Chain A
Amino acid sequence: EAEVAQSPRYKITEKSQAVAFWCDPISGHATLYWYRQILGQGPELLVQFQDESVVDDSQLPKDRFSAERLKGVDSTLKIQPAELGDSAMYLCASSHQGWYGYTFGSGTRLTVV
């Protein structure tokens, strides 16, 4: 069964350092999403890509977060500088044209110390 790949699985970083997460969606899925899930809460959308273009980044804290999907395939989410409140699970999901269901990866658990 096709999966959304994410790395690393776990990341511990110090406050004010830079951190990056990588996502490889299911082959052929044009739409890619980054979500943040704080422990005990539901996922919240950070950014949505359609191919290489950003469709929605209204909830992305642009002063410290950036996301790119240069060739319309894999994607990177970066935080610089990281803050204590950024500790969360960062989930990537993808979907293909005309299908409303998202397939999520296993996420990257970020701990900022």
Chain B
Amino acid sequence: QQQVKQSPQSLIVQKGGISIINCAYENTAFDYFPWYQQFPGKGPALLIAIRPDVSEKKEGRFTISFNKSAKQFSLHIMDSQPGDSATYFCAASIGGNDMRFGAGTRLTVKP
């Protein structure tokens, strides 16, 4: 079922550093690309999302970069903080339906 490939599986970053998580998709019909953040014992929470008509979207310390021709998108977390330690999932959907998730990246930010 998985149509979205995510890397790396795990990532360790020092406080204040930049965290970068990458995703690649196959289906060119996807038109919505969100990132979700999940803490242990909780459901995923929408962090930031982008449509394919823009190449970048920034919200606070979080930025999505989107490369339509390469069918890739990435999440950048600037000035990473220990509170950012969580599992991050990229996802893609068509018109908001049948959201397909990546396998997740476990981020650890060391103080």
Contacts and interface: CB of A to CB of B under 8 A. Distances in A.
A93 B93 CA distance: 14
A67 interface: no
9 contacts: A41-B103, A42-B91, A42-B104, A43-B44, A91-B43, A93-B43, A101-B46, A104-B44, A106-B43
Chain A, interface size category, equals 20 to 34
Contacts of A87: none
Interface of A: 4, 31, 33, 40-45, 48, 55-56, 59, 91, 93, 95, 99-107
Contacts, number: 60
Specify which of B43, B100, B103 lies most central, judged by the most chain A CB atoms within 10 Å of its CB: B43
A31, A43, A104, A106 — most chain B CB neighbours (10 Å): A43
A99 B95 CA distance: 9
Interface in B2-27: 2, 4, 6
B101 A43 contact: yes
A100 B93 contact: yes
Nearest to B42: A106
A42 B49 CA distance: 17
Nearest to B46: A101
Given A99-B96, A100-B32, A100-B95, A44 B46 contact: no
Contacts of B44: 43, 91, 104
Contacts of B36: 104
